[in-house]
Amino acid sequence: MLAASLFKEVFYQSRIPQLVMTLDETKVMVNPAFKQFIGYKDETWQWSSLKDFSHPEDYEVDMKFLGEVIEGNRHEYHMEKRFITRTGEIKTGDLHVSLIQDQGVSYVLGQVIDITEKKEIEVKKQKSDEKYRLLAENSSDIINLHEPDGSYIYISPSISSLGFSPDELIGRHPFDIIHPEDQQKIEELLTTLNEANNVIQVTYRVMGSEGDYSWFESVLKAIFDPVTRGILNVVSVSRNIEERRMIEEQIKKSEKLAVIGQMAAAVAHEIRNPLTPIKGFLQLCDDKKQYNEEYLKVVVKEINRMEEIITDFLYLAKPQGILRNSLNIEELLKEVITIVETGIKTKNGVITMNAVEQNVSLYGCPNGMKQVFFNIIQNAIDAISVNGSIEIETAVEGNKFHILIKDDGEGIPQEVFKHLGEPFYSTKEKGTGLGLLISHKIIENHSGSIAYESNYGDGTTVKISLPLQNSDA
């Protein structure tokens, strides 16, 4: 048999707050851990009643259960109880109470596990959860939580905008209400989710409860398991963008109408310019009733100019498909240089070309690129003075092929830079600005870019950059 003194030492040395008392509370024994739990030291401890250090609300429940134990209706009970410490602080304990016997006398044994910190964390979490719940339930956006397979775990009340209640969709897959034509696009995007790229954005159509579709935009974020690195859940925030799309379409239409108006005015202005001399010379011929060869030359020249303007406009108006032909940049540049050779000779100028060996693949429309080179080289010829020079270089940098066309003309004033590529903006007396506009469109269709570098009085460099591609791209 173990000595009674051993059990007494276990009681007093235990780190678990414990209390033993008679059924009428007249005799009480507490261990140091219990005193420490309620904020007392040995010399200050004064026992009077359980009520003194019990929260009023919990004391009533405690006494009810204790009465049932004393009456023999239950042997023990377990509850969370709030205790009031010496300083008035509230502590929460996990209280376990049972009856024990000693030489035929019944005693109450109370043991307390301090869970104050745990309860504080729970309260903070509940408050935080409540904030997020209020945010989700009062947001006009639809906030969802998904299983890794996409099925809904949680849907915010905003789903009512589609005529559904959250309960109708919980457990179902989003594809049940997403337009069939948009599902493959979403599946492909979802396969790109990983820890490095855990957020995607997608636009698609969603079916309402009445069967009608609306455009939605969703941002999806994957939550990963820190151990397995697999997707635990997916959070999505979805917004109805039907109205936004309608407004964007209206803006596009308005912009198109504005551009059409500007272009129509520009066309009228540019065609009226050559019509003025044509009309004047025809009236002179009519008045004199005789044929004049010089007048006819002027008329034909102006008609040709009108034809060029109309041709350029038709090119801009007509959608241009990109031919997947191999591009030999050096050969195209040589052909253009041959065409403009007469023009450069009239200024006693010189064109030099330093082309790198093209051991990379370029594909596109040869005629289109030829027109770009012609427009830019012709501009360079117009810019240089007598005895001027034009240098053409090519280079490969990363996944880009660059063509640089440099002239030693006067350069481009800074106020002109912002207008480059605009229709009917030209520094030439009879220029229309359509050449650069067409060049920009051709390069854009080739997924390339045009950049300008110029200092007034120090020439201009035009840099054309084209992406390197595979033949099967």
| 472 confidence band (pLDDT: 50, 70, 90) | very low
What amino acid is encoded at 284 in this protein? Answer: L
Mean per-residue pLDDT, 330-357? 86
pLDDT over 90 percentage in the chain = 33
CA distance readout (Å), 77 to 57, 68, 80, 235: 17, 9, 10, 42
pTM of this structure: 0.43
CA 390 to chain centroid, in Å, comes to 44
Q: Hey, is 244 helix, strand or coil?
A: helix
**68 is in which domain, residue-wise?**
4-120
Cβ proximity of 461 and 454 under 8 Å: yes
Shared domain for 457 and 378, answered yes or no, is yes
| 41 confidence band (pLDDT: 50, 70, 90) | confident
Whether 132 is covered by a domain: the verdict is no
Q: What is the pLDDT of residues 52-83, one digit of tens each?
A: 889 999 999 999 999 999 888 988 999 999 99
Angle (CA) 415 418 424, round 5°: 95
Whether 112 is covered by a domain: the verdict is yes
Token pair of 469, please?
Answer: 């591609």
Q: What is the pLDDT of residues 402-438, one digit of tens each?
A: 999 999 988 877 777 666 766 555 555 555 566 777 7
Query: Of the residues 184, 212, 240, which one is the last residue of a structural domain?
Result: 240
Shared domain for 389 and 462, answered yes or no, is yes
Cβ proximity of 409 and 459 under 8 Å: yes
Report the number of distinct structural domains present in the chain. 4
Count H helices and E strands in the chain, helices first: 12, 17
Shared domain for 367 and 445, answered yes or no, is yes
Mean pLDDT lowest among 53-57, 214-218, 269-273: 269-273
Token pair of 351, please?
Answer: 């064109």
Mean per-residue pLDDT, 119-135? 80
Q: Identify which has the larger pLDDT, 11 or 168.
A: 168
Give me the CATH number covering residue 428: 3.30.565.10
Q: Output DSSP code: residue 322.
A: P
Whether 189 is covered by a domain: the verdict is yes
Shared domain for 89 and 158, answered yes or no, is no
pLDDT for the residue 193: 84
Shared domain for 340 and 312, answered yes or no, is no
Q: Identify which has the larger pLDDT, 5 or 325.
A: 325
Token pair of 463, please?
Answer: 């840099």
27-32: which pairs have CB atoms within 8 A and are 24 or more residues apart? none
Whether 126 is covered by a domain: the verdict is no
Q: Hey, is 268 helix, strand or coil?
A: helix
pLDDT higher than 50, residue 14? yes
pLDDT higher than 70, residue 198? yes
Distance from C-alpha of 416 to C-alpha of 435, rounded to nearest angstrom: 16
HSE, side-chain direction, 13 A CA sphere, residue 263 = 17
| φ/ψ (deg, to 5) at 222 | -90, 140
Give the bridge partners for 461, in sequence order: 406, 453
Give me the CATH number covering residue 267: 1.10.287.130
Shared domain for 334 and 459, answered yes or no, is yes
Give me the CATH number covering residue 37: 3.30.450.20
Which position has the token pair 């409540």? 130
Select from 199, 147, 137 the least CA-distant residue to 174: 147
Cβ proximity of 299 and 282 under 8 Å: yes
Token pair of 440, please?
Answer: 């920009």
Mean per-residue pLDDT, 391-411? 90
What amino acid is encoded at 301 in this protein? Answer: K
DSSP 207-233: E-TTS-EEEEEEEEEEEE-TTT-SEEE
